[in-house]
């Protein structure tokens, strides 16, 4: 079983992480948040930087293709990027792999907006047979975008923190977690109040405000609908939040 985490969780020495919640096709908010994160980087002491995304870059919002292209080409001196696979990326990759029975459900739950960002009309796709619809979707999405999404991981350990899309199955060692749980789990994880052996930083489940619990921190603030995209920053024993509600020129938030 997991060992107990320290009373005051910490990131590793000489590293700082910025963990961004579910973007869901909101390129406008992503650009705002990246600008604020880069300003935060410049205002603080030097450290090796990890910029992590907890998944669901695509669907729902209007600019999935543009978000993928922006992040596929993102580079900033001294910054290592980490991308984790969300359930929305999983469904798209399964469709591209040939599971055409998932197409109609995907279109209902954000895929229509995603497909439109790639220049396809969802109404036309719905009118086609499954095999023709699949061929059109495959033709619309560049191979380099598919390859980029396929490169995403499921978890990333950062000191006493674990970054993941949806959460973990309580009582199951990290090495034995199922991909389905890491990408899809809700209540068994969200309602669990016990120690996981690390603080889980996750997206997937929308919360009006960041949910900061002793065993988990939920950072999906519903960007596609609320206009609020949130990042958690961790620097050893300190952590703070940066989001798109902050006005331009707002002071750098104090760590706590």
CA dihedral (14, 30, 157, 3) positive or negative: positive
How much is the pLDDT for 250? 40
Q: How far separated are the first and last CA of the chain, in Å rounded?
A: 30
pLDDT class of 6 with cuts at 50, 70, 90: low
How much is the pLDDT for 2? 43
What pLDDT, in 10s, does the model give residues 10-59?
999 999 999 999 999 999 999 999 999 999 999 998 899 999 999 999 99
What's the whole-number average pLDDT of the chain?
A: 94
What pLDDT, in 10s, does the model give residues 172-231?
999 999 999 999 999 999 999 999 999 999 999 999 999 999 999 999 999 999 999 999
Number of residues that this document lists for the chain? 256
- Who contacts 149 (Cβ-Cβ below 8 Å, separation ≥6)? 68, 85, 89, 92, 93
**Phi, then psi, of 3 in degrees rounded to 5:** -80, 155
Residue 256 has pLDDT above 90, yes or no: no
The pTM of the full predicted model, rounded to 2 decimals, is 0.94
How much is the pLDDT for 53? 99
Tokens 């985490």 — which residue?
5
**Phi, then psi, of 19 in degrees rounded to 5:** -115, 120
- Alpha-carbon span 33 to 207, nearest angstrom: 18
């Amino acid at each position: 079983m997991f060992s107990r985490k320290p009373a005051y969780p910490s990131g590793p020495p000489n590293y700082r992480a910025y963990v961004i919640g579910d973007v869901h096709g909101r390129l406008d908010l992503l650009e705002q948040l990246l600008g604020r994160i880069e300003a935060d980087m410049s205002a603080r002491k030097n450290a090796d930087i990890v910029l992590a995304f907890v998944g669901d870059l695509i669907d729902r919002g209007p600019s999935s293709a543009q978000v993928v292209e922006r992040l596929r080409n993102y580079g900033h001196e001294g910054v290592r990027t980490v991308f984790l696979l969300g359930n929305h990326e999983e469904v798209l990759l399964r469709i591209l792999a040939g599971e055409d029975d998932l197409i109609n459900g995907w279109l209902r739950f954000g895929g229509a907006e995603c497909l439109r960002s790639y220049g396809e009309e969802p109404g036309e796709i719905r009118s086609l047979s499954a095999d023709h619809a699949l061929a059109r979707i495959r033709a619309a999405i560049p191979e380099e975008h598919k390859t980029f999404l396929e490169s995403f991981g499921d978890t990333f350990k950062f000191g006493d923190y674990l970054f993941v899309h949806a959460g973990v199955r309580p009582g199951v060692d990290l090495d034995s977690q199922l991909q389905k749980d890491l990408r899809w789990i809700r209540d068994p994880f969200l309602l669990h109040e016990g120690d996981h052996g690390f603080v889980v930083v996750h997206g997937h489940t929308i919360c009006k405000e960041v949910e900061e619990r002793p065993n988990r921190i939920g950072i999906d603030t519903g960007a596609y609908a609320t206009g609020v995209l949130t990042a958690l920053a961790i620097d050893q024993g300190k952590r703070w939040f940066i989001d798109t509600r902050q006005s331009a020129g707002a002071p750098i938030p104090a760590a706590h």
